[in-house]
């Protein structure tokens, strides 16, 4: 056992660079995938917990024929799944008409029965606003009310500002909107305007989108927009006022009464508000409520609430992008770790022969390499998990530019983390065991001899004399070396191609937001994060595969040095191959980025391929070439310091 541990320790020391490369590959993939994927989960969970804590109504029932009867209210209250019903009325009307502003300000009026006992927030039930700042009324105004200021578009009224409610004008507007069929006649001359004073400023959990809260006046078809253009086309509210329903003039009680029912379901804590389970519950209870209220009621759920719907849309975009990019990152990572572990086992032929000679079984020999991969996986996954937490926290912070987000949950969600770790770990272990079984089947005497290099053969360029005959010897040997190990060449090209595509995707997302006239902080953040992680992935892919290539060809490079090649020529011997691999990868990666961009633009509902500035495609190519150059500079020292004597020792 002691000898086994010593050989294990020597292996870690011998392959420390490869060990660190594996850790970084796992870290980058886990950090990016878990970070982007769990960002949506953190948003869903945080908002769901917030909605439960604020007792937000699951349904708002609006009467289409005037007011709900007491029998209808009692029928809803008798439903087992209903925990609370609040009565009131809401309407969108223009207030404060003046000669300078003849249209007035579009204001939503909430007349709530729960406010009749005062404006203490503790007395408010369903659809609870949060008190941000409370003011004591000073003045002779008789009616104190509350004003909602929830985002940068709903400016609201200032504290202690007075607002005149001309109910005659309000009812005329409702009649024009089809909200009432009453004939005011002489009645409007008997209704005096009511002056109210804003005494409290609230922020409602139902209106937290920075885009602005759409008015009821938009109509049913555009209440829940799907694109930025639809959002910009909406009629946005300018003010929201919460007013006790007792302030409605007595003469109008029969016309502005129980127009709305705010309905809250029981056991909300059991449901994530953005989950399929909640969706099924809403669908089921919609049928029950419709039967209780009859045909003269329109039910509005959270899915018709713009802020809720918009947040879900943005979070879903991040989630779907996470799934798409997860596939690409996993593909590249799996290719690189497979290549790293299989080629490492092949390099360890002489060590495997020694262990077999010492009596170690094939299983114990293979387990040494499995442990190597497992330790790298654990370290990379643990650090990557915390990197992912940072990425998801960044996205949650960025969402505050579009929404007034509640406190972030401590539960990050681990779905993407588990998927990433399981896939990479499976690839590592399967690849290591496969390579180990292949080598341990050989006799020690065979393993002690170096594996003979693969014989060279004609490449396709030799069939084009016009090109081949004009190449110098060094370039002819370079092309033959590149294509001599075709599977490795393909693996390198595929890895570089996908890394190139990821860089281009990130740049395209940044372009449509920064220069394409689409203002979206969350999409910009996604673009920046993709570029950073794709750049790190590209550097690590080229570095790891080139480093392995150098390690496998130390004897070959030492021979060149013995033959009199200068350090520059020896480095050029390898670097030319690296640049050819990178350029071919770029050639395939550029068109590969197009379908990925199309899918992303489709998910986001914004942007086009033609809308991406051509300059960014050039930047993507330049970045990959720059990364390749940096890698060759980092590995130059390893190539020039190859020990000719040790590398050229014959193995007898």
Whether residue 1 has pLDDT greater than 70: no
Tokens of 589: 């990666």
The pLDDT of residue 27 is 93
The dihedral through the CA atoms of 342, 348, 351, 352 has a sign that is positive
pLDDT at 164 (0 to 100) = 82
User: What pLDDT digit, counting tens, does each position of 510-523 carry?
Assistant: 888 777 766 677 77
Angle of CA points 92, 94, 100, to nearest 5°: 160
> Residue 148 pLDDT > 70, yes or no?
no
Give the range among 178-192, 308-322, 404-418 with minimum mean pLDDT: 178-192
Mean pLDDT for the stretch of residues 600-618? 82
Range in 287-291, 312-316, 483-487, 567-571 with the lowest mean pLDDT: 483-487
Position with higher pLDDT, 648 vs 81 = 81
Contact 589, 495 (CB under 8 A): no
pLDDT at position 472: 79
d(CA 405, CA 382): 28
Q: What angle do CA 48, 283, 271 make, to 5 degrees?
A: 25
Contact of 150 with 406, CB cutoff 8 Å = no
pLDDT value at residue 586: 93
Provide CB contacts within 8 A for 371, sequence distance 6+.
8
pLDDT over threshold 70, residue 359 = yes
The secondary structure of residue 272, as a DSSP letter, is -
| Per-residue model confidence (pLDDT) at position 125 | 35
pLDDT bucket at 123, cuts 50 / 70 / 90: very low
**For the chain, percent of residues with pLDDT exceeding 70:** 83
Q: Spell out the residues 6+ positions from residue 321 whose beta carbon is closer than 8 angstroms to its own.
A: 36, 526, 600, 603, 604
pLDDT at 134: 33
Residues 6+ apart with CB under 8 A from 219: none
* Residue position matching structure tokens 């490869």: 18
User: Which range (409-413, 424-428, 517-521) has the least confidence?
Assistant: 517-521
pLDDT one-digit tens code per residue, 24-47: 999 999 999 999 888 888 888 888
Could you tell me the two tokens for 276? Answer: 């399929």
Average pLDDT over residues 491-501: 88
Residues with Cβ within 8 Å of 554's Cβ and at least 6 positions away in sequence, in order, are 642, 647
What is residue 454's predicted lDDT score, i.e. its pLDDT?
A: 64
| Higher-confidence position of 326 and 247 | 326
Q: Give 372-386 pLDDT, tens digit per residue.
A: 999 999 999 999 999
Using CA atoms, how far apart are residues 423 and 458, in angstroms rounded to an integer? 38
Within a 10 A sphere around the Cβ of 181, how many other Cβ atoms? Answer: 10
Average pLDDT over residues 355-374: 86
Q: How far apart are CA 404 and CA 381, in angstroms?
A: 33
- pLDDT given for residue 143 in this prediction: 45
- Taking 70 as the threshold, does the pLDDT of residue 393 lie above it? yes
- Residue that is written with structure tokens 């660190």 in the block: 20
Q: Closest Cα to residue 315, out of 236, 413, 233, 385?
A: 413
Question: Higher confidence at residue 502 or residue 238?
Answer: 502
Going from the C-alpha of 539 to that of each of 500, 502, 551, 552, the distances in angstroms are 11, 13, 18, 20
Distance between CA 529 and CA 538 in Å, rounded?
14
Residue 56 contacts residue 305 (beta carbons within 8 Å): no
pLDDT at 66 over 80: no
In sequence order, what are the residues at sequence separation of 6 or more whose Cβ sits closer than 8 angstroms to the Cβ of residue 622?
none
- Cβ-proximal residues to 329 (8 Å cutoff; 6+ apart), any chain: 28, 29, 32, 33, 502, 533, 537
Task: Please give the sequence-ordered ranges of beta strands (E in DSSP) within 71-210, or none if there are none.
Answer: 82-95, 105-112, 130-134, 143-148, 162-165, 194-203
pTM of the model: 0.79
The pLDDT of 122-135, averaged and rounded, is 35
Question: Cα-Cα-Cα-Cα dihedral of 224, 310, 86, 104, to 10°?
Answer: -70
Instruction: Identify the weakest region by mean pLDDT among 191-205, 334-348, 496-510.
Output: 191-205
Q: What is the chain's mean pLDDT, rounded? A: 79
Q: Confidence class of residue 647 from pLDDT cuts 50, 70 and 90?
A: low
585-595: average pLDDT: 91
Amino acid 377: pLDDT = 93
pLDDT tens digits for 461-486?
Answer: 777 778 777 777 777 777 777 777 77
Burial group, residue 359, by CB count within 10 angstroms (0-12, 13-18, 19+): exposed
Residue 61 has pLDDT above 80, yes or no: yes
Q: How far apart are CA 97 and CA 101, in angstroms?
A: 6
What pLDDT is attached to residue 191? 74
- Confidence band for 259, pLDDT divided at 50, 70 and 90: confident
How far is it, in rounded angstroms, from Cα 282 to Cα 273?
10
Return the pLDDT at 457: 66
Output the six-digit token pair for 361: 């079984």
Mean pLDDT value across residues 450-461? 68
CA dihedral 52, 56, 58, 61 (to 10 degrees): 170
Least confident stretch, 107-116, 211-220, 237-246, 474-483: 211-220
Query: Residues 348-369: what's their mean pLDDT?
Result: 83
Distance in angstroms (rounded) separating the CA atoms of residues 332 and 435: 19
Query: Residue 603, Cβ neighbours under 10 Å: how many?
Result: 16
Taken in order 462, 466, 470, 471, is the CA torsion positive or negative? negative
Interatomic CA distance for residues 610 and 387, integer angstroms: 34
Q: Is the pLDDT at 613 greater than 80, yes or no?
A: yes
d(CA 116, CA 574): 82
pLDDT for residue 240: 80
In DSSP notation, 3-25 reads HHHHHHHHHHHHTHHHHHHHHHH
Count the neighbouring beta carbons within 10 Å of the beta carbon of residue 633: 11
Collapse the DSSP code of 143 into the 3-class scheme (helix H, G, I; strand E, B; otherwise coil) and give the result: strand
Interior angle at CA 419, CA 415 and CA 423, nearest 5? 175
Compute the average pLDDT of residues 69-84.
88
Closest of 248, 152, 240, 145 to residue 199, by C-alpha: 145
Q: What percent of the chain has pLDDT over 90?
A: 10
| pLDDT band at residue 153 under the 50/70/90 scheme | very low
Tell me, rounded to whole angstroms, the distance of Cα 165 from its chain centroid: 45
pLDDT tier at 185, thresholds 50, 70, 90: low
CA distances from 228 to 363, 510, 604, 607 (A): 59, 16, 10, 11
Spell out the residues 6+ positions from residue 524 whose beta carbon is closer than 8 angstroms to its own.
398, 509, 510, 513, 514
Q: Decide if pLDDT at 247 tops 80.
A: no
* DSSP string over 614-644: HHHHHHHHHHHHHHHHHHHHHHHHHHHT--H
pLDDT at 226 over 60: no
Q: What are the angstrom distances between the C-alpha of 477 and each of 456, 458, 468, 472?
A: 10, 11, 11, 9
Q: What local confidence, expressed as pLDDT, does residue 452 receive?
A: 67
């Amino acid at each position: 056992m002691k000898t086994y541990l010593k050989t294990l320790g020597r292996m870690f020391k011998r392959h420390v660079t490869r060990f660190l490369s594996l850790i970084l590959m796992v870290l980058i993939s886990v950090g990016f995938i878990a970070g982007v994927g769990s960002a949506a989960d953190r948003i869903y969970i945080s908002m769901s917990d917030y909605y439960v804590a604020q007792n937000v109504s699951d349904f708002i029932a609006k009467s289409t024929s005037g007011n709900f009867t007491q029998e209808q209210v009692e029928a809803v209250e008798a439903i087992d799944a209903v925990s609370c019903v609040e009565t009131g009325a809401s309407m969108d009307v223009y207030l404060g008409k003046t000669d300078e502003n003849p249209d007035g300000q579009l204001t939503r009026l909430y007349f709530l029965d729960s406010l009749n006992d005062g404006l203490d927030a503790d007395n408010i039930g369903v659809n609870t606003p949060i008190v941000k700042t409370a003011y004591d009324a000073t003045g002779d105004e008789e009616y104190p009310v509350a004003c909602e200021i929830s985002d940068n578009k709903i400016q609201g009224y200032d504290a202690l500002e007075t607002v005149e409610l001309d109910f005659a004008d309000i009812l005329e507007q409702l009649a024009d909107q089809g909200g009432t069929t009453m004939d005011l006649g002489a009645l409007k001359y008997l209704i005096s305007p009511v002056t109210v004073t804003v005494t409290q400023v609230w922020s409602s959990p139902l209106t937290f989108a920075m885009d602005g809260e759409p008015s009821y006046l938009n109509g049913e078809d555009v209440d829940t927009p799907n694109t930025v253009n639809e959002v910009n086309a909406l009629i946005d509210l300018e003010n929201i006022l919460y007013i006790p329903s007792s302030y409605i003039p007595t003469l109008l009680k029969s016309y502005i009464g129980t127009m709305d029912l705010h309905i809250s379901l029981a056991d909300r804590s059991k449901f994530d508000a953005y989950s399929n389970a909640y969706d099924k519950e809403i669908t089921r209870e919609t049928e029950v409520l419709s039967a209780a209220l009859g045909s003269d009621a329109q039910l509005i759920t959270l899915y018709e609430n713009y802020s809720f719907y918009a947040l879900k849309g943005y979070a879903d975009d991040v989630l779907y992008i996470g799934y798409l990019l997860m596939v690409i990152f996993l593909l590249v990572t799996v290719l690189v770790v497979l290549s790293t572990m299989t080629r490492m086992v092949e390099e360890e032929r002489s060590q495997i022969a020694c262990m077999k000679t010492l009596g170690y079984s094939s299983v114990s020999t293979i387990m040494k390499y499995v442990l190597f991969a497992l330790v790298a996986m654990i370290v990379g996954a643990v650090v990557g998990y915390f990197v992912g937490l940072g990425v998801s926290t960044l996205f949650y912070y960025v969402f505050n530019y579009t929404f007034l987000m509640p406190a972030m949950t401590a539960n990050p969600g681990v779905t993407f983390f588990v998927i990433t770790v399981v896939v990479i770990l499976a690839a590592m272990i399967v690849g290591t065991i496969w390579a180990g079984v292949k080598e341990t089947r050989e006799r020690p005497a065979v393993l002690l001899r170096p594996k003979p290099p693969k014989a060279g053969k004609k490449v396709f360029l030799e069939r084009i004399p016009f090109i081949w005959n004009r190449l110098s010897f060094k370039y002819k040997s370079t092309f033959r070396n590149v294509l001599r190990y075709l599977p490795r060449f393909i693996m390198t090209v595929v890895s570089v191609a996908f890394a190139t595509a990821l860089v281009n995707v990130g740049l395209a997302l940044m372009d449509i937001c920064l220069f394409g006239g689409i203002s979206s902080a969350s999409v910009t953040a996604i673009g920046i994060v993709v570029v950073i992680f794709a750049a790190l992935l590209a550097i690590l892919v080229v570095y790891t595969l080139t480093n392995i290539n150098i390690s496998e060809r130390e004897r070959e490079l030492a021979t060149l040095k013995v033959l009199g090649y200068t350090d520059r020529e020896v480095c050029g011997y390898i670097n030319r191959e690296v640049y050819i691999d990178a350029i071919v990868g770029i050639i395939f990666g550029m068109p590969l980025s197009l379908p990925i961009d199309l899918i992303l633009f489709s998910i986001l509902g914004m942007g086009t391929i033609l809308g991406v500035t051509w300059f960014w495609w050039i930047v993507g190519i330049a970045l990959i070439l720059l990364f390749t150059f940096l890698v060759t500079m980092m590995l130059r020292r390893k190539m020039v310091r190859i020990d000719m004597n040790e590398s050229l020792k014959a193995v007898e």
